[in-house]
Amino acid sequence: MQRNITVAYGNGIGPEIMDATLRILDAAGCNFKYDVIEIGENIYLSGIKSGIAPESWDVLRRNKVFLKSPITTPQGTGYKSLNVTIRKSMGLFASVRPTVAYTNVIHSHFPNMDLIVIRENEEDLYAGIEHQQTGEVIQCLKLISKPGTEKIIRYAFEYARAFGRKKVTCMTKDNIMKHTDGLFHKTFLEIAKEYPEFETNHLIIDIGSARIADYPESFDVIVTLNLYGDIISDIAAEVAGSVGLAGSSNIGDSFAMFEAIHGSAPDIAGKGIANPSGLINGAVMMLMHIGMPEKAELVQNALLKTLEDGYHTPDIYKEATSRVRVGTNEFADEIIKRLGQRPVILKEVKFNHDFKPIYVKPSPYVKPSKELDGIDVFVDWVGTDRNPNVLGAKLSEIASKTDMFLKMITNRGVKVFPDGFSETFCTDHWRCRFKRKSDDTKINHNDIFNLQKMIFDEGFDIIKTENLYLINGERAYTLGQGE
């Protein structure tokens, strides 16, 4: 049966590497019909700031699978990242980026490196919720959800299982972000119990990144949050020495996008010398995703054989390891000639032929019990000399007329009232924590609104508030540093 695939030729070297890739897929007998959409530079410049025309969305939705060449993002503000737009609009929660060293064929500092970064793709600081509410401080909201975390971690384990991997490493910064990153780590530990065949471990992201740069061979599958994953997948690609070779996928419940990890390389566009391997590897991931493991194996083994036979594009050509310097088209021709052959020096790829596309579901929603414990009121204030004791005395007096008390004030997270250090530098952004008088005191939204009204009436500029809850009986907010 013929299958429709949405294709975008992209910009710069995009059309050259896409032509090469589609020729290989056709020669491998994939029987695809390509629905071509235009995205990127021309669409941006025609005034559509997202880089995708409305009619292209229909094609994307209909076909559910998208093979995309790199696109050029025009310089200047106002252009949205097309990748971020597609990821968010189409619910692409998982980014999967394998990085492998082609030992003895292409130079790499780490010949045994073969790792996959699986990164949460929709949440974290990438929600893009930023505010400036005082003259001196700007915030960015880090949002981590339980369903989002469960889905990506389960996906990582299912992926590891489907691809015969042995070890899954989780990376977070939960020594600092105990609740957001803490949820990710805790969920990892819980879900890992369902996959006892894997060796599992957790690393704090800073030492984890350092180890990827120094001992990448010690990693297999890494699962992490959006920002950390973005950074470590680039570190991994860089140390493998193969930015032009790696492919990646972005996976959602009903839609997936496959591409090379590199950009549109305008410096070599039109010269016929671009390396199409990254997009070919992206296409191999696509073949696996849509349940065509034999074709994925056929194409990838032919690519590996071509590389080990020394047919190299200029970006990877080296006297010591290469035999013939080829352009994009000749490289594709050599791959096509080798369809059906297997590599000898490089490890032959054998995929699981029973592979089924991976679908994951988060657990059903369970309404938690919530008890209001207090409120953090943020105020924009400098007073005469930014003295926290002045602010503290005034707010304590206001709170004394309510069922709450001023527990503390922090400035950039550091406790400055009561008993702060005089050395702590204070900005104009103060977090004032009011708690109910005792565990037996019941407070509701009316109480916290009244408190805010009283603070406002005394002339304070309230810029935002955060409710403090006990969720299922547990404190669901962090203590201030020094609280």
Binding site for ligand NAD (CB under 6 A): 13, 70-73, 83, 244, 259, 262-268, 274-275, 278, 315
- Nearest Cα to 380, choosing from 130, 128, 132? 132
Phi first, then psi: give them for residue 386, nearest 5 degrees. 55, 40
Q: Which is nearer to ligand NAD, 289 or 415 (CB)?
A: 289
Nearest-approach distance from CB 277 to ligand NAD, in angstroms = 7
368: its two tokens: 């938690």
Nearest-approach distance from CB 83 to ligand NAD, in angstroms = 6
Q: Which is nearer to ligand NAD, 284 or 292 (CB)?
A: 284
Phi first, then psi: give them for residue 76, nearest 5 degrees. 110, 160
Only one residue has tokens 């919530």, namely 370
Contact 373, 469 (CB under 8 A): yes
**Nearest-angstrom CA–CA distance, 151 and 92:** 11
**Exposed, middle or buried by CB within 10 Å (0-12, 13-18, 19+), for 392?**
buried
464: its two tokens: 């935002």
DSSP state of 143: B
Q: Which is nearer to ligand NAD, 70 or 241 (CB)?
A: 70
Q: Which helix (H) or strand (E) holds 301?
A: helix 293-308
Q: Which is nearer to ligand NAD, 17 or 432 (CB)?
A: 17
104: its two tokens: 């003895």
Nearest-approach distance from CB 275 to ligand NAD, in angstroms = 4
DSSP state of 151: H
Residue 417: helix, strand or coil by DSSP? strand
Nearest-approach distance from CB 26 to ligand NAD, in angstroms = 20
Nearest-approach distance from CB 142 to ligand NAD, in angstroms = 24
Nearest-approach distance from CB 233 to ligand NAD, in angstroms = 12
Q: Which is nearer to ligand NAD, 298 or 316 (CB)?
A: 316
Q: End-to-end CA distance of the chain: give it in Å, rounded.
A: 65
* DSSP string covering 254-280: S-EEEEESS---GGGTTTT----HHHH
472: its two tokens: 């299922």
**Nearest-angstrom CA–CA distance, 209 and 215:** 10
Q: Which is nearer to ligand NAD, 15 or 263 (CB)?
A: 263
Only one residue has tokens 């050259």, namely 16
Q: Which is nearer to ligand NAD, 70 or 343 (CB)?
A: 70
**Nearest-angstrom CA–CA distance, 193 and 191:** 5
Q: Which is nearer to ligand NAD, 212 or 268 (CB)?
A: 268
**Nearest-angstrom CA–CA distance, 475 and 470:** 5
**Nearest-angstrom CA–CA distance, 160 and 400:** 57
Nearest-approach distance from CB 95 to ligand NAD, in angstroms = 11
Cα–Cα distances (Å) from 4 to 54, 61, 65, 284, 327, in that order, read: 19, 11, 8, 16, 29
Nearest-approach distance from CB 311 to ligand NAD, in angstroms = 14
Nearest-approach distance from CB 409 to ligand NAD, in angstroms = 43
Q: Which is nearer to ligand NAD, 38 or 315 (CB)?
A: 315
Nearest residue to the partner ligand NAD, using Cβ: 263
Q: Which is nearer to ligand NAD, 21 or 63 (CB)?
A: 21
Nearest-approach distance from CB 195 to ligand NAD, in angstroms = 31
Q: Which is nearer to ligand NAD, 273 or 358 (CB)?
A: 273
Nearest-approach distance from CB 103 to ligand NAD, in angstroms = 20
